[in-house]
Structure 1
Amino acid sequence: MPLKEEHIRLIFGLKMRQLRNRKNLSLYGLSKKSGLSKSYLNEIENGKKYPKQDKILELATALDTSYDEMVSLKLDQNLAPLGDILESGVLKELPLSLFGIAEHDLINIISNAPSKVNAFISTIIEIAKSYNLGIEGFYLAALRSYQEAENNFFVDLENAAVRFAEAYQINLEEHIVSDDLKAILEEEYGYTIVDNGIEKDPMLNNLRSVFVPDSKKLLLSSAIDEAQRSFIFGKEIAYNYLELMVRPYTFSWIKYNSFDEVLHNFYASYFSGALMLPRKNLKEKLTGLLQSTKWEESQFKDLISSFKTSPETVYQRLTNILPHDFGFRDLFFLRFIHKQGEPHFTLNKELHVTQRQKPSTRDYRAHYCRRWISIKTLQHISISPEDHFFGAQVSVYQNGNKYLVLSSSTPDPFVANQYRSVSLGILITPHLQKKYPFLNHHDLEEVQVGITCESCPITNCEVRAVPPKRLLKAQHFKETECKVEELMSMHGKDSKT
């Protein structure tokens, strides 16, 4: 990838700074030697200006080097990692602006301590490899951080959904049927909807839809139900109405080519969710549920079924509304998948608002706590003929934190003998208990839980999948350390032996 003009300016400025420091020259000193102003030299070093040929010659003379060396894009060993980063274009792929970081600031950090930063970057890369985190995994991690930083509430998208409904005469007080959204796609955006357009091929059974941009055909899987059709149509409307040109063409995604694709896919999903579960309607129903003096499971199950959409869509939407409109600041969302008969449960989606709550782990090879309600509901539905199984408990962690955890499990409509669970965990605090009495008055079981079996200190766990090898290893090291201290004490200066 050829370097851009701004990067060439940066490299020149970095080389000049390095040469100046080697000569033990301040900017003032270099100004006196070269005859160039201090402010001009400062702009060069910060990559804002690239000097003309005569100025480069004056700088080369002042720094006791050659013109060719000054203009060469080849960096020495210390700055070589920065050159590699610039040449790779990876900085353009990182969503720096979402987090208020300027590319130039990041380059300055790297250039000021290149060896240390290079070691840090190499360490991050090695960790990513260990956890099989490719560029797509990085994009998704960045998106999660963005959602968490915004408390997963985006007022512009909320308002856009309302404006769209008004403009196209969609009544958000009533259940939206897919045919209404289909008509908008066809008449307003020129789509052709192809039902059963995805062949029944094992390689395609995870796909719900495929959009063909040159013909504007939307191919649908034969396995989707009415709720999924509406959600897909809502996403397609969002791409057009919000003018999100950079987008993935499959749902679920196969590959993300840029962070913009990841971000725009999220925006489209959020917009569609805001249509399927309008904020106003959901707030009204939640207000009634949350003002109850006692927890009633049937009320929450009625809320899920009232929106005629998937439990996952409801749980996801709750992560938008509960923190912003009801003050449930600390909550988590988890999605697990499980193949019938297999021992592993895979966490393939998580979100934490507003801080990283437990449970949270990135060790995909570990065995998640079998006491979690997320796992229990999956175990139940994998041997049950039910289409939806709900469970709830109060999970108590080792640090004393208590979470009200709600979980729904359903069969995976696209993969035979596979199941998924979605769970919402709400940190129970004295403030919330005072505001919402049902958190004090419930008949839910309180369960002591861990994170993974490998790191869990619970000694009498009846469902442990594997021994706590990490704790045993740490205990072994601690005992060894004590023995070493005894040995050193025995053979120290003050010892009698």
Structure 2
Amino acid sequence: MPGQFRKQLVSSCQELLTYTFFIVALNTDNVRLVFGLKLKQLRLDKGLSLNELSQKSGLSISYINEIEKGKKYPKSDKIIALAAAMEVDYDTLVSLKLSKRLEPISELLSSNILTELPLELFGIDPASLLELLSDAPTKISAFVGTLIEIARNYNMSVEKFYFSALRTYQEMHDNCFEDIEEEAERFMLERGIPAEKLLNESYLADVLRSEYNYKIENINEKINPEFASVRSLTITRPQGNRLLINVHLSSVQRAFIYGREIGYVYLKLKNRLHTTALVEAESFEQLLNNFKASYFASAIIIKRSLLIPRLREFFELKTWQPEKLVGMVEEFNTTAESFCYRLSNVLPTHFGIKQIFFSRFNNFAGQNLFEMTKEMHISRKHNPHTVKDEHYCRRWIALTILNDLAEAVKNKTYINTMCAAQKSRYIDTQDNYLIVTFAQPTVTTPNLNVSVSMGVYLDDHTRNTIKFLDDPEIPSRDVNETCERCSLFDCKERIAAPVILQKKHKNEELRKALRRLIN
């Protein structure tokens, strides 16, 4: 075989492999879109109108327009005609490599985001999105590039993007999913579970073993020390799944894990997470299925048919009685976090309380560092929310209760889950919230304390619904987002200078001076 021919053959094989790789990476819609974007870009670079390209190639204007919008992919003979009309070779036109100007769109299309994220869940028609990309590719590319740059600056991984997308999906539906609620009720109806019966660890474990052929064991930390902080691990097998449980978990924590496993099987969710360490998520579908299974677990453990009347009774109280709320958590055989999350399912739809948020903070005892590890907002973005590289307001009840918990544990006076409430008024917006917070130590990480909070925006409807709001036992405090943004200069809890606020004022003075000079 002549050397030149061999080189050409090797080169052609390499190009074919590269092309095949990209075809696998991109779905059919994306391949059509890339070709359309490239055709439109080349046509504009050549200064050709659709009519001129039509005349030179012999293809109709409407057909070329559909190609450029990513709706059609031409056959080889038509590609040859287009390449000749624009005086480029065939390989240049069919190559999936886009120009530098369109590189952000290329990066977006070659990622897994568009193929794995079910856009229809967010009310987005994938075809319409592709058409939008093809209509103004350079402008959209600049916009996408900006978003990618922001994500990089904030160290936002694909996994974090999936988490954000899931949270947005929950918020769009007021975190209430009637289809899963009905599936949970059907599960209990099929098993003849009495209306007043609460499902505990024993019942749920028995369902897993007897109905779904699960084998439940403890995690052996000596053999697998890397799993010491993992709550559970599921090994899927054709002959029956194997569920490993952290030995330090409480009965209610195990009950939730069993309920979630039942949710995976009963809802027929195949693509799943195997541990409670959500960092293993490889796709949005895995996170979504984990959410659905977890929602199912909450629905069968904290029955809404029992929860709603209990909440109505509690809201009718004239005085704030936190022990009744803690008692409700214990009554439903759940954790404070699961209880708060369950509240977010029923408050919007059954009580008309739609402006709410849920948050969770971690704090190591003795350290003045607080990390927001989970948040969800219904109706709009509320305070508090995650802020990078700033210090959250130390007047928040979610933080002060963690200090109280650390002190109680240190003095050996901690007995049970702590619960407190506060009416918070944000000095910048004048927004008022009722914040109810629970706090307790974690079971898997020494010295790590956690607080979970449910925040309710205080409008007229909420004030009429919750009767104990005027109880003087609930303290009222002026709060803000972070120390860096706060104008309360005499705040005794401040731990950082208001540098962002000062910069804002300095810039405003500069703008005023500039306007005076211009006028």
Query: Shared topology, TM-score over 0.5?
Result: yes
Structure 1 partner of 2:394:
370
One-letter code of the match for 2:321?
Answer: E
Mapped to 2, the partners of 1:295 and 1:82 lie a distance apart of 54
Aligned equivalent of 2:450: 420
Q: 1:263 to 1:199 in 2, by over 3 A?
A: farther
Task: Identify which range, 2-11 or 409-418, moves more after superposition.
Answer: 2-11
The one-letter code matched in structure 1 to 2:394 is R
Which of 25, 42, 64 aligns to 1:41? It is 64
- Cα pair distance change 1:65/1:125, threshold 3 Å: closer
**Is the CA contact (8 Å cut-off) linking 2:200 and 2:301 kept in structure 1?**
no
Does 1:158 find its partner at 2:188? no
Aligned mates of 1:344, 1:186 — CA distance in 2: 43
**CA shift for structure 1 position 252:** 3.5
Q: Deviations over 1:62-118 (max 9, x none)?
A: 444443433333323323333333233432133422212233433443444444434
Distance 2:260 2:96 in 1: 45
- Asked if 2 retains the 8 angstrom alpha-carbon contact of 1:81 and 1:114, the reply is no
Query: Could you tell me whether the CA contact under 8 Å between 1:198 and 1:219 is conserved in 2?
Result: no
**Larger deviation, residues 28-37 vs 452-461:** 28-37
The 1:121/1:60 distance shift into structure 2, 3 A limit, reads closer
More deviation in 56-65 or 207-216? 56-65
Match of 2:96 in 1: 73
Deviations along 1:161-202, one digit per CA (max 9) or x if unpaired, are 111111233345222121221122112222111135454866
User: Of residues 266, 286, 289 in structure 1, which corresponds to 2:291?
Assistant: 266
CA–CA separation in structure 1 for the residues paired with 2:41 and 2:205: 61
Q: Establish whether residue 392 from structure 1 lines up as the match of residue 404 from structure 2.
A: no
1:334 aligns with 2:359: yes
Q: Which of 90, 105, 121 is matched with 2:128 structurally?
A: 105
Paired amino acid for 2:419:
F
Structure 1 residue 484: deviation in Å? 5.8
- Normalising to structure 1: TM-score of the pair? 0.91
Correspondences of 1:455-494 after superposition (within 5 Å): 455-481=485-511, 488=517
Alpha-carbon distance in structure 2 between the residues aligned to 1:85 and 1:436? 47
C-alpha RMSD over aligned residues: 2.4
What CA deviation, in whole Å up to 9, does each residue of 1:451-476 have, x standing for no partner?
11111111221111112121122233
Of 220, 229, 247, the residue aligned with 1:222 is: 247
SS at match of 2:440: strand
Residue of 17, 22, 45 corresponding to 1:2:
22
Displacement of 1:483 in angstroms is 5.5
How far 1:423 sits from its partner (Å)?
0.5
Partner secondary structure for residue 386 of structure 1: coil
Identity of aligned residues (%): 38
Query: Cα distance, 1:57 vs. partner?
Result: 2.8
3-state SS of 1:383 partner: helix
Q: Which runs of 5+ in 2 are unaligned?
A: 1-20, 409-413
How many residues end up aligned between the 2 structures?
488
**1:383 matched residue in structure 2:** 407
Amino acid at match of 1:159: E
- Farther-moved stretch of structure 1 (181-190 vs 371-380): 181-190
Select 1:238's aligned residue among 263, 269, 278: 263
Q: Counterparts of 1:443-462 in structure 2 under 5 Å?
A: 443-462=473-492
Q: Provide the TM-score with structure 2 as the length reference.
A: 0.87
Structure 1, unmatched stretches of 5+, are 493-497
Deviation at 1:240, TM superposition (A): 0.7
Cα separation, 2, equivalents of 1:161 and 1:326? 21
Q: Deviations over 1:305-353 (max 9, x none)?
A: 3212111111110011111110111011110011011110111000101
Report how far residue 285 of structure 1 moved: 0.4
Tell me the residue number matched to 1:283: 308
The equivalent residue for 2:368 is 343
- For 1:6 and 1:34, how far apart are their aligned partners in 2? 24
1: distance between equivalents of 2:370 and 2:195? 37
